[in-house]
Amino acid sequence: MRIPCPYCGERDAHEFSYLGDATLTRPDPAAADAEQAFHDYVYLRDNPAGAHEEWWYHANGCRQWLRVTRDTRTHAISGAAPARKSGEPA
Amino acid sequence: MADHSSHDPLAGLRFDRVPPSGTYGADGEPGVTVTIPETPFIALVVARNGFAESVTGRLGRAFGLEVADRTGAAIGAAATVVGTGPGRFLVLSKTEPDLAGTLRALLGSEAAVSEQDDAYVTFDLAGEKTPDLLAKGALIDIDPRVFLPGDAATTVIAHIGVTLWRVDEATWRLLVARSLEASFTRFLIASGAAFGLRLENGTAGRG
Ligand SMILES: [Zn+2]
């Protein structure tokens, strides 16, 4: 499997480490239902057959986090974008 | 120089010592020559958020180079600037002893600068079999028709992190974390022996 890093170009998946679902949002820790929301955020994952947005870290390359769109059935990768938007705080 | 032409070019060499200078493997004119050039001064420049473009421009003007914020090596008489990540550059110089200080004065608060003189060991590989040797450990395409002079990559070779660039038609320069010098040299010997490899590292089993 090869991942098209926006900075480095197409690279073997061995250069990356995988984090998982990139669509989750960290819950508000001050909310009344924070305990349940954090349980779901930390432990519960869908297992979609098809397109999946996920985080990959290019550890052995540019050392940037990427948001990758991968088809879980075929491993076909349709896109990879930097996680950090230029100009946003690090 | 020692002549290591036995069937196993690494026979008798301690795994945790840098192999000594000598010729390894196939007889005749070596297909690859590996030298450890006099260590250049090295500094890492990381542009602060929002300053990548400005830092790129300042580096280019200061050293008279075409520097771009991408993978690539801009090579000049005064310095070489290698892109290793967005807004991040390794700067090498043979003539600026206080390279980090010079860069801090140049870039001010636009970038974080750290001295890296002792972080890396530099390998210069030359000879027509160099791409064939590197291909045995590389995950990227380093075919000389694809990886051109001035191209650079930060990647792994033989499971060891490497920043490499092609200096000119015949020469490739690799930076490897200094503590991995022995391991990486063993990879070069094991993979280059088939072509004949000459190693000139000025050491005799230095740890
Ligand atoms: Zn990358």
> Is A76 inside a domain boundary?
yes
Q: Are residues B57 and B79 in the same domain?
A: yes
State yes or no: pLDDT of B16 exceeds 60.
yes
Q: What is the pLDDT of residues B105-155, one digit of tens each?
A: 999 999 999 999 999 999 999 999 999 999 999 999 999 999 999 999 999
% of chain B surpassing 70 pLDDT? 95
The lowest-confidence range among A85-89, B8-12, B41-45, B108-112 is A85-89
Cβ-defined contact of B71 to A7 (cutoff 8 Å):
yes
Q: Which CA distances in Å does B175 have to A48, B116, B121, B143, B199?
A: 42, 11, 6, 19, 16
Range of the domain at A36: 2-82
Q: Are residues B185 and B129 in the same domain?
A: yes
Q: Are residues B45 and B32 in the same domain?
A: no
Burial class (CB in 10 A: 0-12, 13-18, 19+), A8: buried
State yes or no: pLDDT of B205 exceeds 70.
no
Domain of A29: which CATH number?
3.30.2270.10
- Give the span between the Cα atoms of B17 and B10, in whole angstroms: 11
Q: Rounded mean pLDDT of chain B?
A: 93
% of chain A surpassing 90 pLDDT? 92
Domain of B177: which CATH number?
3.30.1360.120
State yes or no: pLDDT of A89 exceeds 60.
no
Token pair listed for B123: 């390998």
Cβ-defined contact of B153 to A8 (cutoff 8 Å):
yes
Range of the domain at B50: 41-115
State yes or no: pLDDT of B73 exceeds 80.
yes
Chain A residues close to B84, C-beta within 8 Å? 62
> Is B205 inside a domain boundary?
no
Structural domains counted in chain B: 2
- Give the span between the Cα atoms of A65 and B85, in whole angstroms: 11
- Cα B184 from chain centroid (whole Å): 12
- Give the span between the Cα atoms of B16 and B72, in whole angstroms: 33
The ipTM estimated for the assembled molecules is 0.90
Binding-site residues on chain A for chain B (CB distance < 8 A): 7-9, 11-12, 14-15, 60-64, 82, 86-90
β-pair type (B197-200, B32-35): parallel
